[in-house]
Every structure is written in structure tokens, then in C-alpha cells.
Amino acid sequence: MKWAIAIQEYEDYLLLERGFARNSIEAYRRDVLLLEQFVTMKGYEVMPEEIKPFVIEQLMIWLSELGLAATSQSRILSGLKGFYKFLFIESYITIDPTLLLEGPKTSRHLPDTLSFEEIEAILKQIDLSEPLGVRNRAIIELLYASGMRVSELTSLRISSLFLDLGYIRVIGKGDKERLIPVGADAIRFMQQYLKHIRPQLPLKKGFEDIVFLNRRGADLTRVMIFLIVKDLAALAGIEKTVSPHTFRHSFATHLLEGGADLMVIKDLLGHESITTTELYTHLDTEYLRNAILKFHPRNQNQ
């Protein structure tokens, strides 16, 4: 069974039988595509029903070595488990290769935050004389300017851009929409990319409305965005663990430090609960100390 056929049947199953939202289906599709890409990269030359547990284990090890967060690894494994459960239900396989696999243990910890100077250092590593350099600059600028999830960025559509008004429309978890204001620098590089670079790239059928394309004219994967960010951080000499999520966390933290209301940050990030937002608002003790000294009434006039 070819990968493309298996993936299409899985998408139909999630839509028609499970009633999943389009955004959720897209996330599951990307998980299976990631496995297919890994299999191709390793030269295993196997079809979906021929995958053995060790192949998926190797994929998870590779993702871990890349530095992908444990929560992201667990989510990808969950997506693959769903795919192979479908193949088992439909009798394409008799043994589920994911049945005994467990994801990495996750803990609720705060990712590193980049300072504004570190973000500037990363941006300076991008070669704007290269066409894809302009694309990558637009990606980094947008990640930091909007705080959007990497999955939201890879699925971002041209029809959701309102750059002349300074806004973009993002489809988040559960197909929930939110409008995010975007700053001048991000808009400038987005416009450069859309006007001068994207038209030069090949365009595969079905990706006409996708904003960020790869060299082959299809959408960029989350792992590809991760590698772009990781390489730029290394070039900038930053020793922290940097991922696309780091820009999301930095976006929220810098807004809070600048005085933004926590509920505003919650809405910009697309969180259901304020408790989730609070995980993104870790500030060092010196900042908190200064805030208390400045604003607490018992410290006034001292």
C-alpha cells in the first residue's frame, strides 16, 4: 500500500468516521508524512504496512537528538499510533508496530527565553542575498512578532494575510480562529518574500494558498522549521536550546515584561486557559523584585 494512498484513506477516516476538525486532520497527516520522510531519508524502502517497531523507535531517537521537546515527541508518537490503529482496524496490518511503544516522559518546565539581543544576533546570520534567506527571515520575524505555533506557521495561508492592515488570521487548535497584529519588520519581510521570492519557487498542486514553500513547491514541515532555527542559533553562538517554540515563549515573556495584560497575551497565544499562559510568563526574580518595589503600595514614597 503506497504511502499517499494510506495517508488519504486515513484522512478520509478521520473526517468522515471520527468527525475530526480539518486542522487536527492536517496535524495527523504531517505526523505520518514525517515517518515517510524519515523512511526515505534512511533508505529503508518500506511501505506503511511493512514498518517495524524499531523504525519508529529510530525516528523518535532522531527527533530527540534534534532537540525536539518531549511534549512534541509524544504528540508525534500519538499521531503515529492513531495511524497504525486505523490500519489495524481496516485489516491492512495484523500487528500494530506502535502498540508497545511509549513516548518520552514529559514534565511541565519552562523553555529558554531569548533576549532581544539574542534574537537580533540570530537574524543577522541570515543571508538575505539568497532567495531562501528572505523566506527564512520572514519566518523568524513572524514567529517572534506573532507568537504563533510552528504548526500554525506551516499551515498559514495567503488568504489569511491582511498585511496592509497589519494583521494575520491564524487557525489554531480546534479550528479556532484568532487575529494577531503584526509589527512593521515582520510585514516588510513577508511582503518581500511574497512579491519577489515565492513566485520564483515551483508550486505543487494543492499548495497554491500556502504561504511558506520549500524548494520543491510544497509546504514546509515543522522539522524543517526547527532545523532552520537550530542552525541559525548555532551560527549566532547561542548555547541555549533554541526551537521555534522558543520564539513563542520569548514573545509572551517580552510582552509581559513590557507591561501587557496576561489576558491579552492569553488571547494572542490562543490559549483556552489562563493557567497555560502562566507557563509562558516565567520572569527572573530580579524583574519580579523590581516590580514589587516599584508598584506595591507599601513601597511607595520610600
Predicted pLDDT of residue 257: 74
Q: Identify the domain containing residue 182 by its residue range.
A: 116-286
173 noted as active-site residue:
yes
249 noted as active-site residue:
no
Task: Please report, for residues 113, 137, 233, the alpha-carbon distance to residue 244 in angstroms, rounded to integers and kept in the order given.
Answer: 11, 13, 11
Predicted pLDDT of residue 249: 86
Predicted pLDDT of residue 22: 84
Q: Which residue is catalytic, options 149, 222, 249, 266? A: 149
Residues 78 and 122 in one domain: no
Residues in the chain with pLDDT values less than 50: 283-286, 288, 302
H or E element, residue 34 = helix 22-42
Residues 85 and 141 in one domain: no
Residues 171 and 252 in one domain: yes
Question: What is the edge-to-edge ordering of all strands in the sheet holding 167-171?
Answer: 161-162, 167-171, 177-181
Residues 225 and 82 in one domain: no
First vs last Cα of the chain: how many Å apart?
A: 75
Residues 146 and 205 in one domain: yes
Predicted pLDDT of residue 292: 56
Q: Looking at the domain assignment, is residue 77 inside a domain?
A: yes
Q: Looking at the domain assignment, is residue 35 inside a domain?
A: yes
Q: Which residue is catalytic, options 198, 245, 249, 266? A: 245
Q: Which residues lie below 8 Å from residue 113, measured CB to CB, with a gap of 6+?
A: 246, 249, 250, 253, 282
Q: Which residue is catalytic, options 173, 178, 204, 254? A: 173
Predicted pLDDT of residue 284: 46
The number of helices, as runs of H, and strands, as runs of E, in the chain is: 13, 3
149 noted as active-site residue:
yes
Q: Looking at the domain assignment, is residue 191 inside a domain?
A: yes
Predicted pLDDT of residue 267: 81
Predicted pLDDT of residue 161: 96
Predicted pLDDT of residue 285: 44
CA dist., res. 173 & res. 276, Å (int):
14
271 noted as active-site residue:
yes
Q: Which residue is catalytic, options 30, 248, 249, 266? A: 248
* Amino acid symbol at 247: F
